[in-house]
Chains A and B, each alone.
Chain A
Amino acid sequence: MSKRSKRLILPLLVAATVSACATKKRDLPPAPVTEAAPPPVATTAPVDGGGVSTEPVGSSNAPGSYADFVAQSGSDKILFEYDSYELDDEDRAVLGKQAEWLARYPSLRVTIEGHADERGTREYNLALGDRRATAAKNFLAAQGVATSRLSVISYGKERPSVEGTDEAALAQNRRAVTVVAGTR
Chain B
Amino acid sequence: MRILLATLAVALAAPAAAQLRVDINSGIAQPLPIAVPVFPAANDAATDAGTPAELGVRIAGIIAADLRSSGLFRPLDPAAFTTVVGVADTVRPQFDAWRTVAAQALVTGTVSANPDGGITLACYAYDVFAGQELARQGFVTTAAGWRRAAHKCADLVYSRLTGESGYFDSRIVYVSETGARTKRIKRLAVMDQDGANHRFLTAGQALVLTPRFAPNQQTITYMSFEANRPRVWLYTLGSGRQAAIGEFAGMSFAPRFSPDGTALVFSMSVGGNTDVYRLNLASRQLARLTTQPGIDTSPSFSPDGSRIVFESDRGGAQQLYVMAADGSGQNRISFGEGRSASPVWSPRGDLIAFTRMGGGRFGIGVMRPDGSGERLLTNGYQDEGATWSPNGRVILFQRTMRGARTDLRSIDVSGQNERQVPTPLDGSDPAWSPLLP
Residues of A within 8 A of B (CB): 1, 4-5, 7-30, 32-33, 35-42, 83, 85, 118-124, 126-128, 130-131, 134-135, 138, 153-155, 158-165
Contacts and interface: CB of A to CB of B under 8 A. Distances in A.
B210 A122 contact: yes
6 contacts: A9-B270, A23-B242, A121-B298, A121-B342, A126-B230, A134-B272
Nearest to A163: B181
A127 to B, nearest CB: 4
A1 B429 contact: no
A118 B317 CA distance: 17
Contact of B384 (A11, A19, A83, A121): A121
Contacts of A131: 269, 272, 295
Contacts of B288: 12
Given A14-B247, A15-B246, A165-B402, A1 B313 contact: yes
Interface residue tally on B, bucketed by range: 35 or more
A128 B295 contact: yes
Nearest to B279: A14
Contact of B207 (A24, A35, A39, A163): A39
Interface string B173-187: 000001111111111
Interface in B147-198: 178-187
A30 B200 contact: yes
Interface string B229-262: 0100000000011111111111101100000000
B369 interface: no
A127 B274 contact: yes
Given A127-B297, A130-B250, A159-B182, A36 B342 contact: no
A17 B381 CA distance: 43
Contacts of B251: 126, 130, 153-154
Given A19-B243, A123-B253, 12 more contacts: A7-B271, A21-B247, A22-B243, A38-B179, A39-B207, A121-B385, A124-B295, A130-B250, A130-B251, A131-B269, A153-B230, A163-B181
A126 B272 CA distance: 11
Given A127-B269, A163-B180, A39 B225 contact: yes
Contact of B244 (A18, A29, A39, A160): A18
B204 interface: yes
Given A23-B226, A30-B203, A8 B284 contact: no
B6 interface: no
B357 interface: yes
A161 B183 CA distance: 9
Contacts of A30: 187, 200, 203-204
Interface in B66-113: none
Q: Point out which of B204, B226, B244 has the most chain A C-beta atoms below 10 A from its C-beta.
A: B204
Contact of A23 (B244, B271, B402, B403): B244
Given A11-B249, A38-B183, A124 B297 contact: yes
Nearest to B237: A27
A12 B269 CA distance: 11
B205 interface: yes
Q: Point out which of B203, B242, B318 has the most chain A C-beta atoms below 10 A from its C-beta.
A: B203
B207 A158 contact: yes
A167 to B, nearest CB: 11
B311 interface: yes
A161 to B, nearest CB: 7
A4 B230 CA distance: 23
B286 interface: yes
